[in-house]
């Protein structure tokens, strides 16, 4: 991975991390249970339960993604081999690294 690519990846990751750091508290707020004495009807209560489970799924995905991005940034800083396939040593395409920052393998070797 060239310096330029490393910088590009780190910039991408930093932006995504910042977005997730905004998104996670927002989702966490949605996941909070609504107090039963809140005067909402049965239908909207059911709506609310559906929305809550959607938010919960998004929240756990966002947390995993955030952890993986942070880990990848650390590796981009510390590991000379970052961005190279751990199996064949070929560079992992940037698009793949961005989509799956946790990956250590190129598409061929991951299969
Ligand atoms: Zn490979």
Residue 77 placed within a domain: yes
pLDDT of residue 36: 66
User: Residue 40: its pLDDT value, please?
Assistant: 64
Distance CA 94, CA 103 (A): 11
Does the residue 105 lie in any domain?
A: no
**Token pair for residue 77?**
């800083």
Strand, helix or coil at 84? Answer: strand
User: How confident is the model over 7-46, as pLDDT tens digits?
Assistant: 999 999 999 999 999 999 999 998 887 666 666 677 777 7
Query: What are the DSSP calls for 70-103, one per residue?
Result: HHHHHHHHH-TTTTB-TTT-PBPPHHHHHH-TT-
Residue 49 domain boundaries: 3-81
62 CA distance to ligand 1 middle (Å): 27
Residue 110 placed within a domain: no
Q: How far is the CA of 12 from the centre of ligand 1 (A)?
A: 23
Number of domains within the chain:
1
Residue 105 CA to ligand 1 center (angstroms) comes to 5
10 Å CB burial of residue 24 (0-12, 13-18, 19+) is: middle
Quote the ligand 1 centre to 110 CA distance (angstroms): 7
32-84: pLDDT as tens digits: 876 666 666 777 777 878 888 999 999 999 999 999 999 999 999 999 999 99
What are the φ/ψ torsions at residue 91 (nearest 5 degrees)?
Answer: -65, 140
Mean pLDDT score, 83-111? 95
Ligand 1 center–CA 82 separation, angstroms: 13
Question: Where does residue 100 rank: exposed (0-12), middle (13-18), buried (19+ CB within 10 A)?
Answer: middle
Q: How far is the CA of 68 from the centre of ligand 1 (A)?
A: 20
> For the chain, how big is the Rg over CA atoms in Å?
19
């Amino acid at each position: 991975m060239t310096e330029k690519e490393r910088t590009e990846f780190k910039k991408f990751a930093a932006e995504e991390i910042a977005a997730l750091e905004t998104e996670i508290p927002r989702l966490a707020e949605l996941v909070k249970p609504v107090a039963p004495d809140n005067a909402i009807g049965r239908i909207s209560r059911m709506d609310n339960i559906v929305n809550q489970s959607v938010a919960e799924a998004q929240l756990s995905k966002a947390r995993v993604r955030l952890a993986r991005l942070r880990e990848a940034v650390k590796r981009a800083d510390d590991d000379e081999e970052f961005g190279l396939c751990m199996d064949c040593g070929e560079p992992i395409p940037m698009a793949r690294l961005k989509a799956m920052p946790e990956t250590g393998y190129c598409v061929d070797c991951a299969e």
